[in-house]
Chains A and B, each alone.
Chain A
Amino acid sequence: MLSYIIRRLLFLPLVLFGITVLIFALVSTLGPWTRVATFVPSPDAERHVNLEAMIKKYHLDDPPLKMYLRWLNNLFHGNLGWSQSSHMTVAEAIGHRFPATLELTLFAVLPVIVIGIILGVISAVHHNDPIDHSTRIFAIVLWSLPDFVLGLAVLMVGFGVLGWFPPGRLSSWAHLEVIKASFRAFTGMYTVDALLNGRLDIFWDALRHIIAPVITLSCLWWAFMLRVTRSSMLDVLNQDYVRTARAKGLAEPVVIKKHALRNALIPVTTVAGNMLLGLMGGVVIVETVFNYPGLGLLTSTAATRLDVPCVVGVALFYAVILVVVNLAVDILYSVIDPRVRLE
C-alpha cells in the first residue's frame, strides 16, 4: 500500500508539468496587446500609459517557449509570480484565500455527506413510498435550483429579513479585533483561529457569517449525494446476498447497516471525492453572492482580467489537491471494501 501511495505521488510532478504546458499552450495564442490589458483595468484607465514600455518591461512579446522557460525557472526558485488582479504574489494570494475556501468547504462537506447519505438510505429503504417520493422531489428541486438564485434567496431571508447571517467573513468589530497584533492567525480559518485564541465571541461571529454560504453550497450537493446514495443502495438491496441475509432471518437494520450500506458506499466515496473538488471549485458564485473572499473569487477575478500567473498558479494548486484527493479516495476504497487491494 505504501509503495502504491509513493508511486501515485511520484506521478504528481508529471501531472503538474502537463498542466503547465497545457495552460501555457492555450495562453500562447494571446498576443502581447491582449496580455497587457491586465495592467489597464478598464478602457477608460488607459491614459498616459505607455503600453509599449509595459510590454517591454514585462517581456510580454517574448516567444511562448521563452516565457514558459522563464516562468519554470522562477517556479524552481519558489516564485509563482505576481498577481496583478489581487495585488500580491500568487503564492500569497493562494495562501490567503485557500483557508477561507477550505473553511467553507469543510463546513459544507459534513452536512452534505451525513444528510445526503442518511436521506439516500432512507429513500432507498422506503423505495416508492411517499417518503421516497417526497425526498426525491425535494432533491430534484434543490438540485435544479441555480446557486445564485438560492444564494440570493438565503441572503435576502437570512440577512435582509432576519438579520442573522451577514455577508463577508467577519463583522466590522471582529475585523478590528482580528487585525490586532494580539490575535494570532494560525490557520487563516477564522473559526479555528478564534477558538485557538480563546475568543468565543469572534468564533460565533465567524460562524454566523459562514452559515449562509454553507447552506447554499451544501443544499445543492446534498441533493446530489442523496440521489447517488439512493440509486447505489437500491442496486445493492436487490442483490442476492441481501435476500439471503433477510431469508436467514436477520433483523432489517442489521441487513441494511451491515450488509447493504457498506457496499453501497463505494460509488458514493468516488462521488464524495469529486464532490469535495467540486465544492472547492464551485464556490465562485456562492463566494460572490456572500462576498466571501476565497479561491473561487480569486480565480474568477484573475480569469476575467487575464491575470495569467494567477490562473496558472491556481490551476497548479487545484491539480495538487485533485491528485491528493483522488489518492485519498483510492485509499478509502480499500478501507471500505477489503476486496480492493492497492498494489
Chain B
Amino acid sequence: MKTKVWLWIVIAVVVIAAGILVWNSQKPTPPAEEVAKPADVAGFNPDLFVYAGAGDAETLDPSKAYDTASSEIIFQCYDNLLAYKPGSLTEFIPMLATEVPTVENGLISKDGLTYTFPIRKGVKFHNGAILTPEDVEYSFERNMLADPVGGPMWMLLEPLLGVGTIEDYACQLAGVDDFSKVDEKNLIKTAQAVMNAVEVKGDSVVFHLAQPYPPFLSILARNCSWSVILNKKWMIEHGDWDGKAETWTKWHNLELEEQTLFATAMGTGPYKHISWNRSNSTHTLEAHADYWRGKAAIKTAIINNSVTEFNTRKLMLERGEADAIYVPVENSPQIEGTPGVNLIRGLPRLNNVCAIFNQEINAVDNEFVGSGKLDGNGIPPDFFSDINIRKAFCYAFDYEAFINEVVLGEASVPYGVIPKGLSDFFDEKGFQYSYDLAKAEEYFKKAFNGQVWEKGFKLTLVWNIPNTTRKTACEILKHGIESINPRFKVEVQGMEWNTMLPRRREGRLPMVFIGWLADYADPHNFVYPYLHSKGDFMSFTGGIGRAFAAREFDALINAGINETDPQKRIAIYTELQKKSLELAPHLMLYDAYDRRAHRDYVKGFTFDPICPAQYDLYSLSKSLK
C-alpha cells in the first residue's frame, strides 16, 4: 500500500514539474511582436484585403436588405446618384448624377416636389454594359414595386407616394382593406403611379414627390442600399420584373431566396461580387477594372463574417491572417497596444440606446409588475404615465459609471433622442441628465401624490440574452433606485429574444431596452421612431403613451419634416431634443461610439458615421511604408 502512495506522489510531482517546464519554456520565446512580424512580411499581399467579422448578410437584394451586414456588401458593389461630401452629413457630391440638385441650380423645383438628376455618361456596369437613365428609373421602380415585407422600401414610398407600403397604396386606390382584394385595374394603376413618380427626361431622371421632403437627398445618397442603381437589361435577362405595369405583382413581396439579387450583385460599384459562400459566411469581391472613378487599389477582398469567436478574430489580426476585424466594445482593451495594429476608438456613429417607459402596461397575468397595484409589491399599469416617476428614473441612472466602466468610455451622455453624431442639426448646448439621487428622491416623493414614496414599489427589468451591456445598464438603474428608498425593489431578468418578443408585443415589459441605428443621416429618422405617436418606439408605450406623444410631439415632428429652410429645421430639432428630455418619454441611456481595428499597413481609412460598411474598400490600400 505504501509503495502505491509513493508512486502517486512521484507521478503527481512529475506531472506538475512537466507542466511548469512547458510553461516556462514558452516564456523565453520572443514577444508576439517579433513572432508576428516575419509572418506578416512573408505573407504580405498588398492586393488582398481580409476582413473577419461575425454575423452574415441576410440578402444582397437592395429591395429587401435592411441589416448592416447586407448593406455592407451592397455598399461595395453599387453606386448611388449622390454621396455625402467627406466629413459632412449635410452636403452632397454627385456620383452617378453629374450635379447635386438644389433650388438654386433649378434641379429642385421651388415647391420642393420635383427633383431632377442629370445622369453621368460612360459609366460601365460590372458586365461592361453602359449605364443609362433607364437603368436609374428601373432601379427605383423595381424596388418600390417589389417592396417585400420587412424591407426598407418605405423610405422611398413615403416621400414619393405618401404611403408606407406599396400594398397600402393599392388598397387606398381600390378602397379595400386587404391587398388580395385589389382588382386588376387598380393594380395596374398602382404600378403606373410608381412609374410616374420616377421618369426619364432626356439624359436626366426626374422624381415627383407626394409632399416636400427635406431629407429626400439623404435617402438617395451613397450608404442607402435601397437607392442603388441596378442594371435593367441584366435584371430582365435574369428573370426579374420586365418593366411592365401589368406584371409587377409576380415579383412583389417574393420570398427572400426567390429574389434575383438574393445572392448576387450587378452594379456599377467599385467591386464585383464574385461569390457568397453561405456555409462559410464569406463574400469574395474583386475590383471592377472599368470603374468610372478608376480601379480600386485593393484587387481582391474577402469579407469573412463567420468568425463569431472574438479570440479567434483577435489571433487572426495578430497573425496578419486578417487585415481588419470586428471588435465589440467590451473587447477593445484586449486589442489596445497590440503591436502592428491600429485601434481607432471613439468614432461617433449615428446610434443611441434608450429604455422606453411603458405608460400602459398590460398587467393581466404579468410576472414583471408584481401585484399590479401600488401596494409596495408591484406597480400599477399606468405607473410610468406619471412624469415624476419617469424623471426620477432618469436621475437615478449613473450615466458616468455606465459610460466609463461598461462601454469603456465609448459613448456619451445624450442631449435627447437625436445622437451626438447629428449635432449639425441641433444646438448642442442643451440640457443633459446626470446621476442625481437627491433630485430623483424629490420626484419620487411627488409621484402619485406621495403614495409611491410611502408604499414603495416592485418591478422587473428585462434584458435580452446575450446583451450583457444592457444587463449591466439594468443593474446600474436598479442600484440607483434601490439606494433611494428601501421600499423600492427592482429585479433584473435576462430573456432569450424569441421569448421576449411576444411579451414585448403584448406590452408586458415595464421598460423596453432598445437601440436605434440611423437609416439615413437626418434627425427625422430619430425623432419619428422615438417620439411620434405612430413611431416604432412609442408603440411600446401603450395607448396612454401614444396619446401623450400625439399631444406633445406629433405637430412638431411634422413641422420639422415639412420645413425646407435648414435654419428653421435646426430650431425645431433643438426644441424636440429639449422636450424629449423634459417630458422623458424614454430614459435616454447613451449615444454609442464605434471603433475599428486593422493592421497598421492598411492605409486610407476614414470614418463616415453613416456608412454601413466598416471599411469603404475603395478608399483603402495596403503598404508597408
Q: A-side interface residues toward B, CB under 8 Å? A: 30-31, 33-51, 53-54, 57, 82, 86-89, 93, 96-97, 100, 128, 130, 133-134, 137, 141, 152, 155-157, 159-161, 163, 166-169, 171-173, 175-176, 179, 288-291, 293, 298, 304-306
Q: Is the CB of A167 within 8 A of B307?
A: yes
Q: Is the CB of B149 within 8 A of A175?
A: no
Interfacial chain A residues near B29, Cβ < 8 Å:
161
Q: Is the CB of A137 within 8 A of B15?
A: yes
Q: Tell me the bound Cα distance from A90 to B8 in angstroms.
A: 53
Q: Is the CB of A172 within 8 A of B48?
A: yes
Can you list 17 contacts pairing A with B, beta carbon distance less than 8 Å? Answer: A33-B501, A35-B498, A37-B498, A43-B464, A44-B515, A45-B66, A47-B66, A82-B255, A88-B278, A130-B11, A156-B315, A160-B32, A167-B312, A172-B302, A175-B284, A291-B306, A291-B312
B22 (CB) vs chain A CBs: closest residue? A157
Which B residues between 44 and 58 are near A, CB-CB below 8 angstroms? 45, 48, 50, 55-58
Q: Is the CB of A160 within 8 A of B498?
A: no
* Count, A-B residue pairs, CB within 8 A: 163
Q: Please name 4 further chain A to chain B contacts, defined as beta carbons within 8 Å, in addition to the given A46-B501, A48-B536, A141-B15, sorted by A numbering.
A: A34-B498, A46-B536, A156-B311, A179-B284
A30 (CB) vs chain B CBs: closest residue? B498
Q: Is the CB of A54 within 8 A of B11?
A: no
Most buried by A among B274, B319, B498: B498
Q: Is the CB of B514 within 8 A of A44?
A: yes
Q: Is the CB of A179 within 8 A of B281?
A: no
Q: Is the CB of A293 within 8 A of B7?
A: no
Which B residues between 464 and 517 are near A, CB-CB below 8 angstroms? 464, 467, 496-502, 504-506, 513-517
- Does B275 sit at the interface, judged by CB under 8 A? yes
Q: Is the CB of B498 within 8 A of A38?
A: yes
Shortest 5 CB-CB contacts between residues of A and residues of B: A33-B502, A37-B498, A96-B279, A49-B150, A37-B501
- Does B39 sit at the interface, judged by CB under 8 A? yes
Most buried by A among B39, B48, B501, B517: B501
Interfacial chain B residues near A159, Cβ < 8 Å:
315, 319
Quick one: given A166-B319, A175-B284, are A44 and B311 in contact (CB under 8 Å)?
Answer: no
Interfacial chain A residues near B150, Cβ < 8 Å:
39-40, 48-50, 54
Count contacts on B: residues with CB < 8 A to the other chain: 73
Interfacial chain B residues near A173, Cβ < 8 Å:
45, 48
Q: Tell me the bound Cα distance from A53 to B55 in angstroms.
A: 25
Q: Tell me the bound Cα distance from A42 to B29 in angstroms.
A: 44
* B388 CB to nearest A CB, Å: 28
B515 (CB) vs chain A CBs: closest residue? A44
B464 (CB) vs chain A CBs: closest residue? A43
- Does B606 sit at the interface, judged by CB under 8 A? no
Which B residues between 251 and 273 are near A, CB-CB below 8 angstroms? 253, 255-257
Interface SS of B by simple majority: mixed
Interfacial chain B residues near A134, Cβ < 8 Å:
11, 14
Interfacial chain B residues near A30, Cβ < 8 Å:
498
Q: Tell me the bound Cα distance from A155 to B316 in angstroms.
A: 11
Q: Is the CB of A45 within 8 A of B67?
A: yes
Interfacial chain A residues near B319, Cβ < 8 Å:
159-160, 163, 166
Q: Tell me the bound Cα distance from A135 to B467 in angstroms.
A: 43
Q: Tell me the bound Cα distance from A152 to B253 in angstroms.
A: 44
B529 (CB) vs chain A CBs: closest residue? A47
- Does B280 sit at the interface, judged by CB under 8 A? yes
Q: Tell me the bound Cα distance from A305 to B58 in angstroms.
A: 14
Q: Is the CB of B312 within 8 A of A175?
A: no
* B589 CB to nearest A CB, Å: 13
Interfacial chain A residues near B14, Cβ < 8 Å:
134
Q: Is the CB of A87 within 8 A of B516?
A: no
- Does B359 sit at the interface, judged by CB under 8 A? no
Q: Is the CB of A133 within 8 A of B312?
A: no
- Does B35 sit at the interface, judged by CB under 8 A? yes
Q: Is the CB of A163 within 8 A of B536?
A: no
Q: Is the CB of A48 within 8 A of B278?
A: no
- Does B558 sit at the interface, judged by CB under 8 A? no
Q: Tell me the bound Cα distance from A82 to B59 in angstroms.
A: 14
Interfacial chain B residues near A44, Cβ < 8 Å:
514-517
* B602 CB to nearest A CB, Å: 15
- Does B154 sit at the interface, judged by CB under 8 A? yes
A38 (CB) vs chain B CBs: closest residue? B498
Interfacial chain B residues near A291, Cβ < 8 Å:
306-309, 312
Q: Tell me the bound Cα distance from A43 to B274 in angstroms.
A: 32
Q: Is the CB of A163 within 8 A of B35?
A: yes
Q: Tell me the bound Cα distance from A172 to B226 in angstroms.
A: 31
Q: Tell me the bound Cα distance from A51 to B304 in angstroms.
A: 30
Q: Tell me the bound Cα distance from A237 to B277 in angstroms.
A: 54
Interfacial chain B residues near A41, Cβ < 8 Å:
55, 58, 67
Interfacial chain A residues near B274, Cβ < 8 Å:
179
Q: Is the CB of B279 within 8 A of A293?
A: yes
Interfacial chain B residues near A166, Cβ < 8 Å:
316, 319, 321
Interfacial chain B residues near A33, Cβ < 8 Å:
501-502, 505-506
- Does B88 sit at the interface, judged by CB under 8 A? no
- Does B522 sit at the interface, judged by CB under 8 A? no
B263 (CB) vs chain A CBs: closest residue? A87
* B257 CB to nearest A CB, Å: 6
Q: Tell me the bound Cα distance from A36 to B499 in angstroms.
A: 11
Q: Is the CB of B312 within 8 A of A53?
A: no
Interfacial chain B residues near A100, Cβ < 8 Å:
279
- Does B449 sit at the interface, judged by CB under 8 A? no
0 or 1 for each of B589-605: is its CB under 8 Å from A? (1 = yes): 00000000000000000
- Does B318 sit at the interface, judged by CB under 8 A? yes
Q: Is the CB of B311 within 8 A of A155?
A: yes
Which B residues between 272 and 327 are near A, CB-CB below 8 angstroms? 274-275, 277-282, 284, 300, 302, 304, 306-309, 311-312, 315-316, 318-319, 321
Interfacial chain B residues near A175, Cβ < 8 Å:
277, 280, 282, 284, 302
A51 (CB) vs chain B CBs: closest residue? B505
Which B residues between 62 and 87 are near A, CB-CB below 8 angstroms? 66-67
Q: Tell me the bound Cα distance from A51 to B306 in angstroms.
A: 28
- Does B26 sit at the interface, judged by CB under 8 A? yes
Most buried by B among A48, A49, A141: A48
Interfacial chain B residues near A31, Cβ < 8 Å:
502
Quick one: given A44-B514, A50-B149, A87-B56, are A169 and B280 in contact (CB under 8 Å)?
Answer: yes
* A80 CB to nearest B CB, Å: 14
Interfacial chain B residues near A289, Cβ < 8 Å:
309, 311-312
Cross-interface CB contact of A86 among B278, B304, B312, B467, cutoff 8 Å: B278
* B435 CB to nearest A CB, Å: 25
* B344 CB to nearest A CB, Å: 23
* B505 CB to nearest A CB, Å: 6
Q: Is the CB of A167 within 8 A of B315?
A: yes
Q: Tell me the bound Cα distance from A298 to B56 in angstroms.
A: 13
